[in-house]
Structure formats: structure tokens, C-alpha cells
Amino acid sequence: MLTRLTHDIATMTRRRLLAATAGLVLGLAAVSPFSPAQAADDTIKVGVLHSLSGTMAISETTLKDTILFLIDEQNKKGGVLGKKLEAVVVDPASNWPLFAEKARELITKDKVAVVFGCWTSVSRKSVLPVFKELNNILFYPVQYEGEESERNVFYTGAAPNQQAIPAVDYLMKEEKVKRWVLAGTDYVYPRTTNKILEAYLKSKGVAQDDIMINYTPFGHSDWQTIVADIKKFGSAGKKTAVVSTINGDANVPFYKELGNQGIKATDIPVVAFSVGEEELAGIDTKPLLGHLAAWNYFQSIKTPENEKFIKEWQAYTKNPKRVTNDPMEAHVIGFNMWVKAVEKVKSTDPDKVIDALPGTEAPNLTGGISKMLPNHHITKPVFIGEIKGNGQFDVVWKTPGLVAGDAWSKELDGSKDLIGDWVEKKCGNYNVKTNKCGGQGS
């Protein structure tokens, strides 16, 4: 009898212990960091982190629509790994701290496998700690200032050597420009890009007196005095150009004021790094004929890939006049690379996907094949386009082939010896002179 009682007590204790252990495991699972591999069996969630309101909505709303379109197209092909893709869209509202908050929400609450998002560098900088801490993946589709190579970020927009430097070279050689106005919005990307350009111009023999630098806040609207200053600076008898890193909706009054003051491209050409088809759709382009933009893609480029994409995009948006632009193409390339990497490793596990992405190739829309490099940047062609009256661009110059994106600028003393290499060196800022990882950046 005692033996049986002892056995029953022991059995009950084991059951309670097992129940308690199961409860503890479930409790721990509820609070443990999320791995996308644990997602619901039927869908893979994709985060979309673009401003749908505020000063940057003019540029970013289209990128949200682009990811929704790409997800729709991929689901028509059967999804990824036999699962449907599901977009989770949030609006960080052009509010840089809110980007970090929304990124955390996407990863921990919505349990997304990947995020496509950000436009400004300050928004990207604000989310970097979140992606590192929670070990998720961000695809960043916009031209930027470089000086960065993060393990959790894949940069599908242009680095300075894929946009800013070629644009200045073009103006020097083809337009014989001698005086330079570096005009930008007052934040990370324009300031760092102009620091690189100023060093580059001086290395080419341009005097300090022939460089004018000006910054304005986001959403700046009163351009009368600044444009008058530019006009005066350009009246010194030397060919002058404006290199514009003005971002967002401030471009609309800037270009209008150029027209108001009669500044033509033949007098003072403007080459823009943040003005594409989307921004020009909202303004009268007639006074801007001949002004320039430097990008890695233009809607007007005739290739079968591009014509197919434009047709499908306009059908998806039910708008035959809906334009395409460079950051859209960057999302197309990045999205297709992510799909390829996930299918290669048969998993959405971030560590496996991050390791699989370097070397992955995807067609760009201008007829070439882009490759993800060990520094998490891609190869891209560079085009200079001239603004037409219909808001499109005539390509007036292009690189002979694709240009490999440099994470670190050769123009800056603190960066010229650094490389990003997440394949062999496992380091975003490896110093090739000291053979050490560390110092600036990540």
C-alpha cells in the first residue's frame, strides 16, 4: 500500500513537473526574441517601412506601393517556399525616431522576416540599432552618402561613387563647369555627400572660392534669396553648376523659383540626386528643360525588362500615367535578391539569408545584371538624364558598364583605407593598411 501511494505521489509530481515545465517553456517562448522561422506556416510577413505622411511622403508612398506590387506578383508565382507573402505596412510619418519604434514593432509584434524601407539617411541611422539588436534584415533602396556597411542592411541605392562622383565628372568634362554650388537639405546625406564632393573638387584643382555650399531645412519653401545668391555666384564669368542634394517636397518650390528667376540649364545647369520622375510629376517642367539628374535608372530607358515592368506597374495601380523611378528599381532588385536567397537556403532565418545574399544576382530594369557585393552594396550602371517637358528624362551620358558600390569613400582621409567585407573578413570597416576591423562605422 505504501509502495503504491509512493508511486502515485511520484507520478503526480512528475505530471505536475511536466505541466509546469511546459508552461514555463510556453511563457519563455512568448517573451523570447522572435525568429522569422517560427512564423505561421501559411504566410511569410514582409515589413514595409516608408513614410505615407509628412514631408517625405511625396517620395516614399510610391515605394510602399512598389513593395505591395512586388508581393502581389510573387504570390501569383506561388509565393516563396510554398507560402504566401503578406505585407505589413506602417507609417513612420517622416518622423525619424518613429522609424525606430515602427521597425521594432514590425520585428517583435508583427514578426516580419524582412523589412523594405527608409528614404533619408537619418531615418536609416535611427533604425540601425533595432535591426542589429533584433537581428533582422533591412533593404535600403535610396542613394546615400556611403560611410557605412552594416551586417543587417543591404544597400540597393547608389553609393557616392555610383551617382555623385560620376555626375561631377560629367559636368567637368562635358559642360566645362568651373564654379560649384553644393545645395542640400540640412541632414546627414547632403552634408556627408558634399564633404566628399568638396574634397573631390579640390583634388581636381577647384579653388575654395569657386565652391558655394548651402543647406536648408526639410520642407523649405522660400527660395527667392537663395536662388538670387546662386544667380549672383554664377555671374562671375566662369561656367557654374548646382549639385543638388535637396530632398523631399522642398524640390517643388526650388525648381519653381529657378524658373521664376529665369535660370536656364544653358546658364547654370542643376544636377539633382533626389529628383526623379515622381517629383517632376507634380510641377511644370517647361522652365526646367535641360536641367539634369543623376540616377541608376530612368523610366525612359528602352529595354524589354523596363517596358514590361512599366506596363505591369501601371496595370497594378490602374493608372496609365503612373511613373516609375530609380528607388523603385532598387526595391525591385533587392526584393528579387531576397527571394533568391530565401529559396537558396530554404529558410527566412536572418543569419542564413544574410550569408546567402552576397554573390546573389538579379536583373536590373535597364538591361544588366546587378550583383550583391560582400560590402552589402550592389553593382549598378550610372546615367545622366536631361529633363524633358513631359517630366521624363533623355539619357545624355552613361557608364560603359556596371559600377561596384563603394561603402567607404576614397575621397575622405578617415575612410580611404576601409572596406566592407561580410564574407571573408566578417567586418563592415576593415582597414586594409592595419589589417584590423574597427574604427569608424560598423
* Residue 28: per-residue pLDDT: 38
Residue 234 within any structural domain of the chain: no
pTM metric for this prediction: 0.86
Give the β-pairing of 292-295 and 383-387: antiparallel
Task: State the total domains in the chain.
Answer: 1
CA distances from 175 to 14, 196, 232 (A): 84, 21, 19
Residue 260 within any structural domain of the chain: no
Residue 17 within any structural domain of the chain: no
Q: What is the pLDDT of residues 17-63, one digit of tens each?
A: 334 444 433 343 333 344 444 444 789 999 999 999 998 998 899 99
SS3 content of the chain, % helix, strand, coil (to 5): 40, 20, 40
Residue 442 within any structural domain of the chain: no
Residue 277 within any structural domain of the chain: no
CA angle 70, 71, 75 (to 5 degrees): 120
Provide the residue range defining the domain that includes 361. Answer: 38-159+302-381
Closest CA to 245 of 199, 324, 180: 180
Residue 236 within any structural domain of the chain: no
* Residue 439: per-residue pLDDT: 55
Domain containing residue 71: CATH number: 3.40.50.2300
Length of the chain measured in residues: 442
Q: What is the pLDDT of residues 369-425, one digit of tens each?
A: 999 999 999 999 999 999 998 999 999 999 999 999 999 999 999 899 999 999 999
The conformation of residue 338, written as its DSSP 8-state character, comes to H
Q: What is the pLDDT of residues 330-342, one digit of tens each?
A: 999 999 999 999 9
The DSSP result for 281-308, as a single string, is TTS--GGGTT-EEEES--TT---HHHHH
* Residue 418: per-residue pLDDT: 97
Q: How many CB atoms lie within 10 A of CB 125?
A: 17
Flag the least confident range among 76-90, 200-214, 426-440: 426-440
Give the CA radius of gyration of the chain: 25
In the block, residue with C-alpha cell 517636397: 249
The percentage of the chain sitting over the pLDDT mark of 90, rounded to a whole number, equals: 81
* Residue 241: per-residue pLDDT: 98
The conformation of residue 182, written as its DSSP 8-state character, comes to E
Average pLDDT value for residue range 191-205: 97
Q: Please report which confidence band the pLDDT of residue 5 belongs to, taking 50, 70 and 90 as the band edges.
A: very low
Average pLDDT value for residue range 119-127: 95
Q: What is the pLDDT of residues 285-343, one digit of tens each?
A: 877 889 999 999 999 999 999 999 999 999 999 999 999 999 999 999 999 999 999 99
Q: How many CB atoms lie within 10 A of CB 425?
A: 16
Residue 153 within any structural domain of the chain: yes
Q: CB–CB of 99/314 below 8 Å? A: no
CA angle 275, 192, 219 (to 5 degrees): 45
Residue 333 within any structural domain of the chain: yes
